[in-house]
Amino acid sequence: MRAIIESEPFILAITVLSFWIGLVINKKWNRPITSPILIAVVILIPILLLLNIDYETYEQNTHLITFLLGPTVVALGYNMHKQFDAIKANLIPILLTVFVGSLVGVLSVMGICLIFKAPIEVMVSMEPKSVTMPIALGISARSGGILSLTAVSVATCGIFGSVIGPWLLDKLKIKSHVAKGLAMGAAAHGVGTGRAMQMGRIEGAVAGMAIGLMGVFTAVIIPVIEAVTQS
């Protein structure tokens, strides 16, 4: 029985099942809080605890899914190419805005962690929290971060950003479709982009572009900040 429970097909099956339930619930009640990933986490964690599957075993048996993150990052280059026309008219403002957004994202996390005297590994784990997961994991690993904390921060940031984003942007009276999409993609990566796609075609395309740009800028900004502060 144990051999079956800890086998790759079984672990992949409960992972896909949890996510699929998340998708079904999200389709039925399409609210930000019914994000498929949030539902999947809430379903899957008790199942793993109940079946006594530790994270190491779980991680090893889901490498088939996590491996795809690498090629998926490369595939984002195709998305950027396809959506490039949507941002061409605004190219320089968009590059500038996402660059500023990336700086704000990293520096605000650093500031709060320094004020609260959090351990350095907590800080570097959270710095790329607005960056899409595979890129964030690479950045965090490079800085000596705790990967699971990065994963949780990125996931939480995505969920929180996609929940609060439309409300906050509305409160700030932001009208431009480009601005809305860019904010969603820059702050809440893939999850925010999923939400932006529901907001509109332009929002979705621009948000997709923002994911890539945010990833590139943050991947460069963090090592530069580290080099400057360490010298």
| 146-205 residues near another protein, rule: CB under 8 A | 146-158, 160-161, 164-165, 168-169, 172, 174-180, 182-184, 186-188, 190-191, 194, 202
Window 37-96: residues binding another protein (CB under 8 A): 37, 40-41, 44-45, 48-49, 54-56, 58-59, 62, 65-66, 68-82, 84, 89-90, 93-94, 96
**Stretch (H or E) spanning 99:** helix 91-115
The full DSSP string for 39-58 is HHHHHHHHHHHHTT--HHHH
**In angstroms, rounded to a whole number, what is the distance separating the alpha carbons of residues 60 and 69?**
15
Closer of 27 and 223 to another protein (Cβ): 223
Q: Does 145 bind another protein (CB under 8 A)?
A: no
CB of 205 to another protein, least distance (A): 12
Asked if 8 is part of the footprint of another protein (rule: CB under 8 A), the reply reads: no
Question: CB-wise, 71 or 198, nearer to another protein?
Answer: 71
44 and 58 Cβ atoms separated by less than 8 Å: no
In the list 25, 32, 105, 205, the residue contacting another protein (rule: CB under 8 A) is 105
Q: 24-42 burial, b for 16+ CB within 10 Å, e for fewer?
A: ebbeeeeebeebbbbbbbe
Handedness of CA 32, 37, 41, 47 (dihedral sign): positive
212 to 231, contacts with another protein by CB under 8 A? Answer: 212, 215-216, 219-220, 223
Count of residues interacting with another protein (CB under 8 A): 111
Give CA–CA dist 32/143, Å, rounded.
Answer: 32
* CB-facing half-sphere around the CA of 222: CA atoms within 13 A: 31
- Could you say whether residue 142 binds another protein (CB under 8 A)? yes
- CB nearer to another protein: pick between 4 and 224: 224
